[in-house]
Amino acid sequence: MMSNNLSGQNQHLLQAVQPCCCSGLLQLTSQTDFPSLDACLKQLATRLAPESKVELIRFGPDRPASDIPGITRFKLATQKREIGLLILDGELDSHTHNQIKLLCDVFVNQCRMIALINHDRLTSLGNRQALDTKLNELFDSNRPADRRSKESTLYLALMDIDRFKQINDQFGHLYGDEILLQFSQLMTKTFRTVDHLYRYGGEEFLVILSDVNLKQAESVLQRFRSTVENFTFPLVDQVTVSIGLTELKLDNEAISNIDNADRALYFAKKHGRNQLQIYESLIASGRLKVKRSLTDDITLYT
């Protein structure tokens, strides 16, 4: 757990404030994703200033900080594209102000920890560890009362940049990294904030689409495939992507869902590239066949 591996700066801050608000700081350092961290800070600040209105606002260069009203502001973090401010609508005494400032300092440090641990350094997308965490969260929440309806479900897509090895061989790995970076930026622009984007490894990427049906999932992935195909990349001009899609079934093992998407992706690569293939459709049409082993927990494919 991240809370057992605090940064040196966070440890120093904890020692400095014990025992007055150490509990709140420990709550911050136990958060492992940005939404949970944001919610925790807002809750703790509201507890310290119950008469004030607390807002945690993230914004980009199109909305400067001067446009945001508020009496008390705490600058939280400056990243490439985002700035966070904790704004309290109300006057604070010096003791409360200092306590919230300590919370903000730990918040900034924890943001850096989460970014290092859960995000791919080149693309800033989620990494394999972040994917494992998300899948565990989804499968742990698969209780009967929490299950989604058939009309609103989850889909998992694996995407692979076509002929990426040729790009690396011809132009070098430095330029290959530039392709990966631009590709990830197209992903961020195309998919919604509620979707989960990951660099799965090398030139392979993974998307978990939330609250969509099959038609919607297919539509957004086809739109992304077309966006990549029509985007002008430096030197090579055109890059294409092959995609394998499957329903994310929470009553299966996580690896089985990924394997299903991977089989659909391999089919797309083998049959012309620059296309989307859906695992369930391939199975239904007989173009792919599944063969179950004698054991319950292992599935073998032919």
Q: Provide the pLDDT confidence category of residue 155 given band limits of 50, 70 and 90.
A: very high
Q: Is the pLDDT of residue 251 over 80?
A: yes
Do residues 111 and 243 both lie within one domain?
no
Do residues 268 and 142 both lie within one domain?
yes
Mean pLDDT of the chain: 83
Do residues 251 and 194 both lie within one domain?
yes
Do residues 141 and 187 both lie within one domain?
yes
Give the range of the structural domain holding residue 56, as residue numbers without chain letter. 2-118
User: Which residues are CB-contacts of 262 (< 8 A; sequence separation ≥ 6)?
Assistant: 158, 244
Q: Catalytic one among 55, 91, 151, 203?
A: 203
> What's the confidence (pLDDT) of residue 7?
53
Task: Give the predicted TM-score (pTM) of the model.
Answer: 0.69
Do residues 184 and 230 both lie within one domain?
yes
Model pLDDT for residues 90-129, shown as the tens digit of each residue: 788 998 999 999 999 999 898 888 888 888 989 989 999 9
Do residues 236 and 209 both lie within one domain?
yes
Do residues 134 and 262 both lie within one domain?
yes
Is 203 designated active site?
yes
Burial pattern 58-89, b for ≥16 Cβ within 10 A else e, equals eeeeeeeeeeeebebebebbeeeeebbbbbbe
* Count of the separate structural domains present in the chain: 2
The answer to whether the bond into 19 is cis (omega within 30° of 0) is yes
Residue 123 lies in a domain: no
- Give the Cα separation of 192 and 117 in Å (integer): 23
Model pLDDT for residues 193-243, shown as the tens digit of each residue: 889 999 999 999 999 999 999 999 999 999 999 999 999 998 898 999 999
